[in-house]
Amino acid sequence: MHFAASAEGALELLENGVEPEIMLILSDINMPGMSGIDLLKRAKTRWPDLSVAMITAYGDEDTLRNAMEGGAAAFINKPIDFANLKGLIADMRAARLS
């Protein structure tokens, strides 16, 4: 696992080719600086096969639509159900390996 304190930090990690290879980004939508939606769009433009799951406490329809139109693989509402998150990660890993 790799952690970034901001969307800009996450993009920097990706640009530098982190190991092991990143298979999934979990990003909050509301962050200081660049938003998670902007991170999603930039990451999907540069790495179209990279899965990005968006996390938010504000699950309104516009936010969901923007995330899905931007290429989000999943939309996770807070509070996070970690059992469901673990299943989501396992499913994405299995899909990537098949």
Task: Give the model confidence (pLDDT) of 52-96 as tens digits.
Answer: 999 988 778 888 898 999 999 998 989 999 999 999 989 888 887
Strands (E), the chain: 24-28, 51-56, 74-77
Confidence tier at 20 by pLDDT (50, 70, 90): low
Stretch 4-27: mean pLDDT: 86
Residue 34: CB atoms within 10 Å = 17
Domains assigned to the chain? 7-97 (3.40.50.2300)
Mean pLDDT of the chain: 89
Stretch 3-31: mean pLDDT: 87
pTM to 2 decimal places: 0.84
